[in-house]
Amino acid sequence: MMSLEALSVAAETQGTTTGDLLLRTSEGGILLVEPDPAEAQRILAFIREALGPTAHVTVVRSLSSARRRVRDGNLALALLDLSGLEGAGLEGLRELQHADARLPVVVLADQADQRMGLRAVKAGAQDFLIRSKIDERTLLQSIQYAIERKRSESRLAFLALHDPLTGLANRVQFEERLARALERSERGQGRVGVMFLDLDHFKEVNDTLGHDAGDLLLKEVAQRLLSCVRSFEVVARQGGDEFVILLEDLRGADDATAVARRILTALAKPIGLGLAQRPVHASIGIALSEPKDTAEAITEKADRAMYRAKQSGRGTFAVYVSSSTTEELGSVRGDVGEGLRNLGFEVRYEPRMGADRDRALAAEAILTWNHPAYGPLVGDAVWSHFDRAQVLDAVIPWWIRRCATDATLWEAQPDLRVTIPVPDSYLLRPEFLEQLSVVFAGVHIEPSRIELMVTEGLLRHDRRSAAVRQLEAITALGVRVAVDAFGGRCGLDDLARLPVHTIKLNAELTRDVTSSSRRRALLKAVVDLANQLHIETVVREVETLEEEDALIEIGCTALSGTVVGPALAREAFPIWLANLESGDLR
């Protein structure tokens, strides 16, 4: 069915008769529901006189036929004789509304039953006519009024549930959808997640480029957020530069943090604002539903997590940590390894292969927490819990020592590096260098086999100098440094200045490398410079052999992901490595 807005505009601008307009813009035209054949012919004649001989009219005699015709669509309006439909009453109107809530309806009533017409309008009809008083003029006026009234009603109904600027759901709709999602979750239909997102430094856009530019940015952000979630999930604008997102059917926090990463990557692509090009950064708080959570409670948790993300440096995300979780982690200060095992932690290793696929170059350590309430947590989600519980000073030395010790057991390839992620904030601590020296004194391993991995957030402007000094001191010990997701904030000039040995390329750099010549050229520029500087370039999540061939041709030196192999339990990794060395995996 053509939109009512389009119908109204066409009538105003093209100057055609209403009948010609209905015929051209709506193949089905008007539906007349009239059980009396003689009365149907009389009303049909008035329609022809009012709208012109070309107006398309479908006449049906029963409510069941009317329902079927309405469900077929392509109708501009329905004329419904309620008094002539045996025993139908207002139920007939409700059935047509249920079949198509967008359809304008004019009810026809007898002189003696005007109250039926009034009740029909209160029940949702757009107008009513007394059958004995119908003529060409009153019929035309009623049709035009009903279409315009339905257009206004539809607009008001939309504004009641949507943000007028972006078209996203508003707070009212979000809270209703969230409440229903929580009910489904209580019945066992997966976890619910709420993300609270606040744009960083949005006020600067309004102040420097004007409010029109700010509105344009908000609308583009809305579209990018929608592209990062599934069709049945909800993106809403809370107001100002705040958005909330409803995620459903989650297995754990890892599913939600994957969405957060997609969002941060999508927003980092510059947005054209007139002559300016600006990337967008956001702080995201994530909360997962727990039993008996209300919509207000889980949204408040996500809001609190968002403020924690802002405090940790903006442009990132944080997962809400309950007080019970903090208390759990507070118990690991004694025997850290045993305490973590008892809480469901496990160490896994993801292999990294050279482009020639002959040998493994490194194994990236992954600390996974199989939390009974939050589900599987990895990476940032795990470290944020440790940070909140204030046990990083106990966990990090154990973590580095555990990974270094495991690497000494990889007898099939005794020179294989182990890549160890370390939270940026902890790596900057003055005591970190001393802790590294203690590890090397207790574990007999060459420092060059240890590769510490940080994020680009470590190198943000306000702490870049301190970070570079610390990284230089680390490399002076013989330890390698890797940067995760390179290319989001750092540029090509940073490669020459930073003391790094490996970069894991940002997913945005490697996206569409097999189909886009522009993206391929951009990636090749980064890889060529890295190769000249003897920096290893790692592509994450290589999914297909076609992608692998393209990346090798460009010059990438290392691959990980599906075509290489999944992350393996620490007990299983030496077996995998031995099979690789013997040729069983080739």
* Catalytic center residues: 241
Helix 4-14 vs helix 136-161: crossing angle, to nearest 10: 130
For residue 79, list its beta bridge partners. Answer: 32, 106
Measured distance CA(490)–CA(404) in Å, rounded: 29
**Closest CA relative to residue 238, chosen from 163, 304, 146:** 163
Q: Is 96 helix (H, G, I), strand (E, B) or coil?
A: helix
**Closest CA relative to residue 32, chosen from 1, 63, 14, 59:** 59
State the CB neighbour count (10 A cutoff) for residue 176.
14
**Closest CA relative to residue 206, chosen from 192, 216, 195:** 216
Both structure tokens of 304: 């609190």
- Work out the end-to-end distance of the chain between its first and last CA atoms, rounded to an integer number of angstroms: 59
Both structure tokens of 167: 């078209």
Measured distance CA(87)–CA(413) in Å, rounded: 85
Within 8 A by CB and 6+ apart from 453, the residues are 364, 419, 420, 421, 422, 481, 482, 483, 484, 502, 504
Measured distance CA(227)–CA(244) in Å, rounded: 14
Q: Is 47 helix (H, G, I), strand (E, B) or coil?
A: helix
Within 8 A by CB and 6+ apart from 421, the residues are 364, 365, 366, 379, 453, 454, 484
Task: Kindly give the pairing relationship between strand 558-559 and strand 536-539.
Answer: parallel
Both structure tokens of 290: 């727990």
Length of the chain in residues, anyone? 586
Task: Read off the DSSP letter of residue 565.
Answer: B
Distances in Å between the alpha carbon of 202 and those of 221, 275, 311, 459?
12, 17, 17, 22
Q: Are 254 and 378 in contact (CB under 8 A)?
A: yes
Measured distance CA(414)–CA(399) in Å, rounded: 20
